[in-house]
Structure 1
Amino acid sequence: MNTYFAICPRGLEELLADELRGVGGSDVRPVAGGVFFEGEWETCYRANLESRIATRILWHIVKGPYAKEEDIYRLAVRQLWPNHFAVSCTMRVVTTAIKCPLKSLDYVTLRVKDAVCDRFRDDLGERPNIDTRNPDVSVHVFLTENECTLYLDTSGQPLWQRGFRKASVEAPLKENLAAGILKLSGWQPGQALVDPMCGSGTFLLEAVQVALDRAPGLDRTFAFERLKSFRALAWADIRSAAEARVKPAEAMPIYGYDRDEHAVRASRRNLQQAGFGNVVQVDRSDLLDLDAPASTGIMLTNPPYGERIGEQEELAAFYPELGSVLKRRWAGWQCFFFTADLRLPKLVGLKPSRKTPLFNGPLECRLFEIRMVAGSNRSKPVVEG
């Protein structure tokens, strides 16, 4: 039985814990920024393949106390690294810390790299090469005030890299954060879903994968395939089972809109390359001109935050118009806005029924849920689609 730590965007820890239980994880313990869990290698493989929310999954090697850099070196050099991966693998060391008293994390990274290479040299007479950009294997160092934990990364490229979003627009949401927001909205396959500011189509892509029961990691490889513990037959069975359950792609009530033609083209291209070109309808339109495509559904979007003064003034003018449009045209819908602009509900003039704190990288955000109750506000009939 191994111990793992799955990293995720802050605010999504409980959703990730549920996912990990679903793939067979035991002793699942959410903490800030991720989830500890235990399981055999097959559980690790499933977690990498199936998790929509994890950023990466780290295999716990050792934990020990430290007071200075040389304590960390000694902890690392004692580990049997040649038992975990071949000397022919390229490697790198990644260091993160909370309340670490040491002056230089770069120096810690250097000493752990030295320790791993010294262990290989002592045991095999040669050492692995370093590749900081695209290594076969990554050693992760996590430091608290007085403890050092060493991990091996089982994911490789971050898990939000599903393998098929090629076209992008400015400031796209990472796929795992989008998947978590979609889950928090309560959207279910078959229910109408609209992203009126769809950008490169991240919410749309995640929704289609959920509806098709398609594992998000089917189009990519993983770092665990480079480890000496890799069980190729078990992995082949897990992949085959995931491929066999994917439903055929067919048209769904999922709609993307954007007023920027570049974004519309990017969304269409990404959906096409993923094999979902005929599943989702994407068109150019301004949110203020849109009619709801069904009598009920979920609107889910990531509007611009307005990081510059001029943009903030534009948004302050836009929000009241948005509130008016939501009342007139979106009665019966649950509307979700993911934003770092905490003024949104007040300026829109609608009281959110739920405010969920989330982080987009280091940026503190909110997912505002605004329920548009059908009734006297609706002056324009909705169009059934």
Structure 2
Amino acid sequence: MIKAHMSFKNAPKGGKSAAVLKPVFECFASCPRGLETQLQAEIEKLGGRKVETTHGGCTFEASWIQATRITYWSRFAGRVGLQIAKGPFQSDEDLYKLALTVPWWNWFGLSQTFRVDLNNLGANVKSIRFTQLRLKDAICDAFIRQFDERPNVSIEEPDVRVFGAVSATEAMVYIDLAGENLFKRGWRLDKGEAPLKENLAAGIWAIAEQRATAIGATHFIDPFCGSGTLVIESVCTLCDRAPGLERPFGFEKLKPYDPALGQALQNEANQRFNAGLDKALEERHFQWTASDITPLLVEMAEENAKRAGLGELLEAGLIQFSQKDALVTKPTSELGLMLTNPPYGERVRAKGADIPEDEAYVRLFKEFGNLLKSSYAGWTAMVFSGDLEIKKVIGLSPKRKTPLFNGAIECRLFEFPIAAGSYRPRAENS
């Protein structure tokens, strides 16, 4: 973690290779599909200009300092790239020649490792893998021409990441500012890939928070909390915790990086997070109650929350995790918002029932729908699911269905307003 000693506005504009920096760069930020609009608004708020949405991300203009700030503070982005070359494209050789013109040694050194990735945006190439290798070759050859040496490639843990994109007519080359994907916030206890990535969870919360504000809800419930991703990302937003507070970044390993810039970012983030925690503890403007039937996941959620710096809120009861069957949860106020990402597959059989997964799934969510209608009148339930027909099993009609993608999986964020009134349990089929 970078230590802070000065305010952001006083940070020097560039380090050892400041000469490589232009006043404005073309940039690209990726995001989970469906969150492009949220990312656009966020980048504009963080100082990006001419922001336009595209498939799976946004293009924008920014200075070096603005781009690093966007990388540090973006809740929705996965990667942020600084465009360092752009030219016409008809063949692999065009990409090679374009990348060969870049003074790579102004960005990183011979002792650093690098990795290259490439996106095909509609280019007519025989092999995207071969085209990617030509980009790598150009970087190596540029160093060899300059120093008679070349840096090594590392696929797993590179110091520097370069990514390119080729369309039917253009080639673009970017230096990556993120390093590891930005959904990796640094607070997750478990080392495996999370079913719900943190930047997607932050986007789900951004949509849900608009509904919560509209109905005046300050009480929130997640009855299928898992390891706490939705809860933690929502509270981090509510308390103004920077997504980059506890993680390293790719831009720190680039030559133009000035440590004072990192110190400034960290200092600002620390101040804002402390102020956000103080506000939450003093005003108690939200209450999160979360549970899961699996004890290990509840323990993990609590540890993740502590690692995210939310321990004081746990102690104050503003966040409460407990081991509980979702079907016995009760509302914590007359009005509130339930936000949850229900389980799939084996997790629906957490009670140990020896029945097929499909049958367990239907049984669970029929009962869950009955619970919502009988106990949560006046609330709004927002359910994120890869089951596009879950509404039929729950037995409620959604007011909205927001398309979002969890990786390659098409999902929906369903909004179910739960009306007050009489309730009659559904008859079981004989």
Report the TM-score, using the length of structure 2 for normalisation. Answer: 0.83
Range moving further from structure 2, 200-209 or 169-178: 169-178
- Choose which of 162, 166, 180 in structure 1 pairs with 2:185: 162
Match of 1:239 in 2: 266
- Choose which of 43, 47, 69 in structure 2 pairs with 1:46: 69
Query: Once the two structures are superposed, what CA deviation does each residue of 1:155-212 show, in whole Å capped at 9, x if it has no partner?
Result: 1011111011112688520000000001111246981111110111001111221121
Distance in structure 1 (CA, Å) of the matches to 2:384 and 2:34: 13
Does the CA contact (< 8 Å) of 1:168 and 1:266 recur in 2? no
- Choose which of 193, 196, 199 in structure 1 pairs with 2:220: 193
Does the CA contact (< 8 Å) of 1:306 and 1:341 recur in 2? no
Match of 1:358 in 2: 404
- Higher RCO (C-alpha under 8 Å, 6+ residues apart): 2
Query: Once the two structures are superposed, what CA deviation does each residue of 1:235-255 show, in whole Å capped at 9, x if it has no partner?
Result: 322321221121336475111
Amino acid at match of 1:268: E
Does the CA contact (< 8 Å) of 1:319 and 1:348 recur in 2? yes
- Choose which of 289, 297, 319 in structure 2 pairs with 1:263: 297
Match of 1:331 in 2: 377
Aligned residues: percent identity?
41
Q: 1:38: Cα distance to partner?
A: 0.9
Unaligned regions of 5+ residues in structure 1, if any? 380-385
Match of 2:164 in 1: 141
Match of 1:383 in 2: none
Alignment of 1:306-317 (within 5 A): 306=345, 310-317=356-363
Amino acid at match of 2:381: C
Does the CA contact (< 8 Å) of 1:172 and 1:199 recur in 2? no
Match of 1:226 in 2: 253
Match of 2:306 in 1: 272
Report the TM-score, using the length of structure 1 for normalisation. Answer: 0.92
Match of 1:287 in 2: 326
Structural RMSD (CA)? 2.2
Does the CA contact (< 8 Å) of 1:155 and 1:224 recur in 2? yes
Distance in structure 2 (CA, Å) of the matches to 1:141 and 1:206: 30
Range moving further from structure 2, 225-234 or 69-78: 225-234
Q: CA 1:127–1:171 in structure 2 vs 1: closer, same or farther (change >3 Å)?
A: closer
- Secondary structure, in 3 states, of the residue corresponding to 1:11? coil
Range moving further from structure 2, 51-60 or 319-328: 319-328
Q: 1:228: Cα distance to partner?
A: 2.0
Q: CA 1:20–1:321 in structure 2 vs 1: closer, same or farther (change >3 Å)?
A: same
Does the CA contact (< 8 Å) of 2:30 and 2:58 recur in 1? yes
Distance in structure 2 (CA, Å) of the matches to 1:82 and 1:285: 56
Distance in structure 2 (CA, Å) of the matches to 1:168 and 1:348: 33
Distance in structure 2 (CA, Å) of the matches to 1:120 and 1:289: 64
Match of 1:208 in 2: 235
Range moving further from structure 2, 139-148 or 356-365: 139-148
Q: Does 1:296 align with 2:335?
A: yes
Does the CA contact (< 8 Å) of 1:172 and 1:200 recur in 2? no
Range moving further from structure 2, 7-16 or 191-200: 191-200
Amino acid at match of 1:147: E
- Choose which of 114, 117, 135 in structure 2 pairs with 1:91: 114
Match of 2:5 in 1: none
- Choose which of 23, 31, 35 in structure 1 pairs with 2:54: 31
Distance in structure 2 (CA, Å) of the matches to 1:40 and 1:257: 44
Distance in structure 1 (CA, Å) of the matches to 2:237 and 2:180: 21
Does the CA contact (< 8 Å) of 1:339 and 1:367 recur in 2? yes
Q: CA 1:70–1:171 in structure 2 vs 1: closer, same or farther (change >3 Å)?
A: same
Q: 1:146: Cα distance to partner?
A: 3.5
Amino acid at match of 2:59: F
Distance in structure 2 (CA, Å) of the matches to 1:242 and 1:190: 27
Does the CA contact (< 8 Å) of 2:217 and 2:335 recur in 1? no
- Secondary structure, in 3 states, of the residue corresponding to 2:270? helix
- Secondary structure, in 3 states, of the residue corresponding to 2:277? coil
Q: CA 1:169–1:371 in structure 2 vs 1: closer, same or farther (change >3 Å)?
A: farther
Distance in structure 1 (CA, Å) of the matches to 2:376 and 2:217: 18
Query: Once the two structures are superposed, what CA deviation does each residue of 1:200-231 show, in whole Å capped at 9, x if it has no partner?
Result: 10011112211211111011111111222223
Distance in structure 1 (CA, Å) of the matches to 2:229 and 2:37: 22
Query: Once the two structures are superposed, what CA deviation does each residue of 1:288-308 show, in whole Å capped at 9, x if it has no partner?
Result: 111111211111111124599
Distance in structure 2 (CA, Å) of the matches to 1:129 and 1:120: 11
Distance in structure 1 (CA, Å) of the matches to 2:393 and 2:234: 29
Does the CA contact (< 8 Å) of 1:323 and 1:349 recur in 2? yes
Match of 1:376 in 2: 422
Range moving further from structure 2, 187-196 or 317-326: 187-196
- Secondary structure, in 3 states, of the residue corresponding to 1:245? helix
Q: How many residues align?
A: 379
Q: Does 1:179 align with 2:202?
A: yes
Amino acid at match of 2:404: L
Does the CA contact (< 8 Å) of 1:42 and 1:235 recur in 2? no
Distance in structure 1 (CA, Å) of the matches to 2:42 and 2:33: 16
Distance in structure 1 (CA, Å) of the matches to 2:169 and 2:344: 38
Amino acid at match of 2:325: D
Unaligned regions of 5+ residues in structure 2, if any? 1-23, 349-354, 426-430
